[in-house]
């Protein structure tokens, strides 16, 4: 609903301008004292469109901020504890291999 209303805000500004253009041109226009410019209230329309756009951007930033806060706060932090079995290997300094697996895995290929 908020996305729809945010996108329609500029439409509402246009509709309001079209409905009240004579009043805006006569009373609210910044250039009403300069009829040679043929502004006819368009300066007022541009100002209102800019305000609507700024308001939409502010609402979008606020919405994104709330979504980030919801994502961070609502996901519980789960800390799992893992137990590791201690494995002791005796590594002799001469070969650099554990003695328990020295002969079973690490050997040169045998020729036939």
- pLDDT tens across 15-28, in order? 888 998 889 888 88
| 35 belongs to a structural domain | yes
Mean of pLDDT values over 46-67? 87
Task: Classify burial at 98, counting beta carbons within 10 Å of its beta carbon; exposed 0-12, middle 13-18, buried 19 or more.
Answer: middle
Q: What CA–CA distance (Å, rounded) separates 52 from 56?
A: 6
pLDDT at 108: 72
Higher-confidence position of 88 and 59: 59
Task: Report yes or no on 96 lying in a domain.
Answer: no
Residue 84 is assigned to a structural domain of this protein: no
Question: The domain containing residue 23 runs over which residues?
Answer: 2-74
Is residue 48 within 8 Å of residue 13, measured between CB atoms?
Answer: yes
Instruction: Please report the pLDDT score of residue 50 as a whole number.
Output: 93
Tell me how many domains the chain contains.
1
- Mean pLDDT for 50-67 is 86
Question: What is the overall mean pLDDT for the chain?
Answer: 75
pTM for this structure?
Answer: 0.52
- Please check whether residue 87 lies inside any domain of the structure: no
Nearest-5° Cα angle at 93, 91 to 98: 25
Per-residue DSSP letter, 111:
P
Domain membership flag for residue 11: yes
């Amino acid at each position: 609903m908020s996305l729809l209303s945010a996108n329609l805000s500029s439409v509402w500004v246009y509709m309001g301008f079209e409905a009240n253009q004579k009043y805006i041109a006569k009373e609210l226009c910044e250039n009403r004292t300069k009829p040679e410019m043929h502004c006819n209230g368009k300066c007022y329309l541009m100002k209102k469109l800019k305000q609507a756009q700024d308001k939409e951007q502010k609402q979008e930033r606020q919405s994104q901020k709330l979504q980030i806060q919801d994502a961070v706060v609502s996901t519980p932090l789960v800390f799992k504890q893992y137990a590791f079995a201690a494995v002791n290997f005796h590594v002799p300094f001469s070969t650099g291999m554990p003695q328990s697996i020295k002969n079973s895995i690490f050997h040169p290929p045998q020729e036939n």
